[in-house]
Each structure stands twice: as structure tokens, then as C-alpha cells.
Amino acid sequence: HSRKALASELAATAVGEVLARFLRAACMFCCWSVSEPPLAPGRWRRRSLTSGPRLVYRPEPLDLHLGMFLPTLLNQATPEQMDRFFTPAWNLQIIGTYAQTEMGHGTHLRGLETTATFDPATQEFVLNSPTISSIKWWPGGLGKTSNHAIVLAQLHTQGNCHGLHAFIVPIRDMDTHVPLPGIVVGDIGPKFGFSEVDNGFLKLENVRIPLDNMLMKYAKVEPDGTYVKPPSAKLTYGTMVFIRSMIVGQSALALAKSCTIAIRYSAVRHQSELKPGEPEPQILNFQTQQHKLFPVLATAYAFTFVGQYMKQTYNRISGDIHAGDYSGLPELHALSAGLKAFTTWAANGAIEVCRMSCGGHGYSRSSALPDIYVEFTPTCTYEGENTVMMLQTARYLLKSYSQARGGQQLQGSVSYLSRLQPQPVSAGVPPLNIQDLASLVQVYQLRAANLVELAATSIQQELQLRRSQEDAWNSSAIDLVRASDAHCHYVVVKLFADKLRQVEDPAVTSVLSTLALLYSLHGIASNSGDFLKAGLLSVPQALQVSAHIKELLIQLRPNAVALVDAFDLNDKRLNSVLGRYDGNVYEHLFEWARHSPLNASEVHESFHKYLKPLRSKL
């Protein structure tokens, strides 16, 4: 039960070190650095917005200042506003947050009630929270830390409402930190996870700010109140797109940490008997344990590459936007929304699989898995509730589908809707090579195209019943979410296949190809109904998929520990007794227990206060 058990795993493969080098290069997704050691247990580093100093990360009050306040200024502030706000914010004189969500309104942004009414007489905006449901709710750092907030509010000028716009609102005195007049602000209280973060509320009561506190890089209000609209309405939501793109990388990191812990522990833990009278084997030798953990491992690699792609795509389209080209913004918005939902849903469930696969010790916080779950699971809700995110992606898919049916050639992730016709059941089952990744990519394409067409057909049928467009959409929402899920699943499989072509080392390519096949086939097995109903899979082929998954588990077994070691997550970063690199789990588990706060004294005060008096009365 030591590192020797894990060392024997690495000895079985010659690709461990090459994998580690490859993953260190590939895992620079979003703004997370995975290759540098942390400064303290349980913390990892996040890159600053430029080449400046690196900051330690756990969920903390400054997260929205760094992750949303500063990026919003970079993307939406004028040069003059950058001088006024960004430099002080970079130096932490201004500490900001991003106040969008309201008590009664979350993902449906058009429903936000906070108002910003322009007063031309004073050249000021007057901000108000007109109802109890309009109180800003949830922004991290708002409760006690921030002295400024970027507030999303409905812009009113010259008697017209022009929708949501961003305003920089001072909320606390820069010297005393006392809330400013008209500002009612505080912490919302304990919640599930993020205990270190002072998520807050903000009520605005006739708060006046200068005209140039509206972020006006794109949309503008002239001194006479004239409104100049932006080139694209989606530019207002650029910060959310950035965060959603980043969350895809966070999903990969959470999965990498979870499966590293579970697989390392499964190589150390010996339990039960495969054959009577023989020593207890490593639980990683049990097929059921492999079937739990190896698909999670494959998903962690897949999401790593997707996170990298999203970072590159965001940077590319952001560059195009700065150059005046807004054509890529709709796809970026749809892709970031869909993949945010797809990856966080999958990761949320997979973290729990890893925890349960560690048996009783998985319940202990010494494993780090309960903390990983609690810190990660809010991603399914914040920056857009996942079902609503899938429906936003569906709108883009249906629009693209309509364009493709009209003969328009599509580009990007939806280009398959132009090239491929959904496969009718009557056409028979196409030849499917379950050992060929290109064949699997094609069948995922066909599944996505089929479900997009089914969703479009459902809406048309509802409209023929003389229902309104809105009612037809709601009556088809289940189909729309399934279509978005299938589209995102196809994108992930395709990106995994694309990544393999960039790998030059044959040994690494071989192992990653096995992972890619496992990810793709496990997805078919888990969604076999879609493929069977679309005529893309026969029952014998479905049986072949299940059989080949078992073969892939056997192939991955010798490389399992090397594959998680390749994530290069050191012990401080994992902060897990079960996932220790040296494999000395039991010694350190006992030591961890000995340091429990209840063991600070041999006889706890509760004995003298409660138990002893109780015994004396018996």
C-alpha cells in the first residue's frame, strides 16, 4: 500500500512522461495554469489578465473583480473610461463586481427590472430597484468587499427603453468603505459551496451616476439623450460569453482532479477476492471499477481539449470583433452556452461517480472529493442555468437549420447541417466501424442532424395547430434541449478526433486514440435510443459497442495511472489524502484524522458539560 503499487503501474507503459509533457502543453485552457505548483494546499494558480503577477485561487471575494469586472472594462470601456476605472481597478484601489442577476430574475436577461434613466438636465443616470424582485442578488464580492459594481440595467432615455446596458456604479466610500447614499448592500448568507465568497445583494434607491459611467465602447447616449445603438446587441453580454468559455475549462480541471484521486486510490486499495484463497486485488482490476472511472478519465481528456479550443475560439472572435467583424459572435454565443451546459452537467455527475468509487473514504473531506463537488456544482446554475443555455443554443441551431434548408452554406460548428441530410430510418443502418474514430464522428453528426430536424418538425407541427410561436417553442422544449445536447456531444467528439491529428508521438497517439474511442462509444451506449431510433445503429451493432467498451477498458488498465499523472496535478493542488502521488494513503489518512479539531484534547468539554452530569442522574 505505498507508492510502489503506483510505480508498478507506470512501469507497464513507456508513455507516461511523454503524456505529461503533452498534457502540460495542452491544458492551458482558458485562463487556468495547470503546470505550475500552487502556493498553498488546496489552491491553484490563475493567470493574470496580462503577463503580470499570478494570483492564488480558491473561490474568494476577488474572483468577480478579476474574472468579470476587469474583463468587462477591457471589452466595453472607452479609452477614457479605461484611464478612469481600469488602472485603479488593476491596482485594487477600485474593487469591483458584476451585478446582473436579480432576486426574481436570473438567466432571462430581458426580464431584469433594474432601471437606469437618463436625466439630461444634470447629465446623469438615475438608477433604481423598482421592486423587491429587482434587487441585485448573488454577485460575488458584493456583500462586503467591493466598492464599485458594473450594474446591468434597463436603459431609459427620451421616453424609450433601449434594453440592458452596463453602468459603473460606486457603492461604497473609497476611504471608509461605508455604503454611499441610496445604496442598500450586504451579504446574502450561507449557501451550498463558495463559503469564502461574500455573495451579496444590492438595492438602488435613486442613485445618480455621471453620463460617462455608462460603458460606451459600443452603445452610446449623447448629452441630449440620443441613443446610439451598438453594432450587435450581443456585445453587451461579452463578459458572460468569456466566463462560459472559461467554465468549459473548469469542467475539465474538476474532472482531472476527481479521476486522478479516484484512480490513484483504486491502484492502492486492495479489497475482496477475484479467486478464492488469492490475495485481495487492487480494486482498479475489477471491471466494474474500470467501467466507472475510465469513461470519466476519457471525458477529462476530451473536455481538456474542448476547453483549449474554446479559449482559442474566444480569442480569435474577440480579435475579429475589435477589427469590426461581428460575424462570428452568434456562433460563439451559442457554442459557449451549449458547451458550458454540456460539460458542467457531465462533470457534475462524474465527480460524484469518482467519490462513490472511493467507497467509504470518499465521504471524508480528506479525499477532497466532497469539496470538489461542492465548489464545482454551482457552475450548473451561474452564468446561465443549464437548461436555458441549451435552449439558447437551440435557437441558433434552428436558425442555422432553416438557412441550410434554404440552400445557404453554413460555416463553423454547424456546417454539417449544410453537408448532411438526417438519415431516415427507412434508409437502413449505415456501415459503422466502431474502431474507427472518423466513422464515429460521422454517426454523431447524423444523430445531431436528426435531432435538430426532429425539433424543427415538432415546432412546425405545433404551429400548424395554430399555436403561437412562443407556445410552439415551449411545447417542443424537450426536443430542443435534446438537439442541443446532441450538437454539443458531436462537437466534443470531433474536437477530440481533431486533437489526435496534432500529436506526433505514436505511443501518445495510440493511448489517446483508445481514450477517444472509449469516450465516443460510451456516449453511444449511454444514448443508444437516439442512434437506434434514427436508424444509425442496429441492435447487433449496439451489442458490439458494449463488447468493445470492455476491450478498451482492458487496454487502458496498464496506462491508467500514467494517464492521470499526465495531468501534472501535484499533491498540494489536489489536497487529497486518497490521491497522494506517493500512494501512502493509510498512514496519512490516520495522521489526518489525528489532527481533527475534536482531537485537540483527550477529553472533550462536552463530557464535563453534558455526559458526566447525565450519568450522575442515572
pLDDT in tens, 147-180: 999 999 999 999 999 999 999 999 999 999 999 9
DSSP 147-207: SEEEEEEEEEETTEEEEEEEEEEE-B-TTT-PBPTTEEEEE----SS-TT---EEEEESSE
pLDDT in tens, 482-503: 999 999 999 999 999 999 999 9
115-119, 201-205, 238-242: lowest mean pLDDT where? Answer: 238-242
Give the model's pLDDT for residue 73: 94
Give the model's pLDDT for residue 236: 72
* Beta strands 96-99; 227-228: pairing state: unpaired
AA identity, residue 177? H
**Eight-class DSSP state of 367:** G
> What percent of the chain is helix, strand and coil (3-state, nearest 5)?
55, 10, 30
Statement: residue 134 has pLDDT above 90: yes
Among all chains, which residue has been given the C-alpha cell 466502431?
A: 434
Statement: residue 243 has pLDDT above 90: no
pLDDT in tens, 264-309: 999 999 998 888 888 999 999 999 999 999 999 999 999 999 999 9
* Separation CA 617–CA 613 (nearest Å): 7
Helix, strand, or coil (residue 35): coil
The count of other CB atoms within 10 Å of the CB of residue 237 is 20
Give the model's pLDDT for residue 7: 47
Give the model's pLDDT for residue 323: 86
Give the model's pLDDT for residue 601: 92
Query: How many helices (H) and strands (E) are present in the chain, helices listed first?
Result: 23, 13
As a whole-number percent, the residues of the chain with pLDDT over 70 amount to 88
Beta partners for 221?
227
State the average pLDDT for the chain: 88
Q: Which residues are catalytic?
A: 383
Specify the CATH number of the domain 62-231: 2.40.110.10
pLDDT in tens, 359-383: 999 999 999 999 999 999 999 998 8
| Grid cell at residue 187 | 451579504
The count of other CB atoms within 10 Å of the CB of residue 49 is 14
Give the model's pLDDT for residue 430: 61
Provide the CATH topology of domain 242-407+441-565. Answer: Butyryl-CoA Dehydrogenase, subunit A; domain 3 (1.20.140)
Among all chains, which residue has been given the C-alpha cell 472511493?
A: 358
* Separation CA 449–CA 447 (nearest Å): 6
Beta partners for 137?
201
AA identity, residue 428? G
Give the model's pLDDT for residue 361: 95
Is 140 marked within a binding site? Answer: yes
Give the model's pLDDT for residue 232: 79
Q: At what angle do helices 238-268 and 369-376 cross, to 10 degrees?
A: 160
| Grid cell at residue 508 | 501518445
The domain ranges of the chain are: 62-231, 242-407+441-565
* Separation CA 522–CA 528 (nearest Å): 10
More confident residue, 387 or 63: 387
Statement: residue 9 has pLDDT above 90: no
Q: Region 53-77: what's the mean pLDDT?
A: 79
Give the model's pLDDT for residue 274: 83
Q: In the structure, what pLDDT confidence band is assigned to residue 241 with cuts at 50, 70 and 90?
A: confident
pLDDT in tens, 553-610: 999 999 999 999 999 999 999 999 999 999 999 999 999 999 999 999 999 999 999 9
Residues 6+ apart with CB under 8 A from 194: 59, 140, 375, 378
Helix (H) or strand (E) holding 389: helix 386-405
Give the model's pLDDT for residue 482: 97
Give the model's pLDDT for residue 242: 84
Q: Are 116 and 155 in contact (CB under 8 A)?
A: yes
- Please write down the HEC assignment for all residues of 69-136: HHHHHHHHCCHHHHHHHHHHHHCCCCCEEEECCECCECCCHHHCCCEEEEECCCCEEEEECCCHHHCE
Q: In the structure, what pLDDT confidence band is assigned to residue 420 with cuts at 50, 70 and 90?
A: low
Give the model's pLDDT for residue 617: 76
pTM: predicted TM-score of the whole model, two decimal places: 0.83
pLDDT in tens, 322-365: 888 888 889 999 999 999 999 999 999 999 999 999 999 999 99
Give the model's pLDDT for residue 421: 56
DSSP 523-541: HHHHTHHHHHHTTS--HHH
Q: Region 97-107: what's the mean pLDDT?
A: 90
- Give the range with max mean pLDDT: 116-120, 229-233, 417-421: 116-120
Q: Are 179 and 194 in contact (CB under 8 A)?
A: no
| Grid cell at residue 281 | 486485488
As a whole-number percent, the residues of the chain with pLDDT over 90 amount to 74
Give the model's pLDDT for residue 429: 54
Residues 6+ apart with CB under 8 A from 6: 264, 267, 268, 561, 581, 582, 583
Per-position b or e across 565-584, b if 16+ CB within 10 A of its CB: bbbbbebebbbbbbbbeebe
* Separation CA 332–CA 345 (nearest Å): 20
Statement: residue 6 has pLDDT above 60: no
More confident residue, 93 or 423: 93
Residues 6+ apart with CB under 8 A from 141: 61, 62, 63, 64, 65, 95, 96, 97, 197, 198, 200
Helix (H) or strand (E) holding 221: strand 220-221
Give the model's pLDDT for residue 27: 39
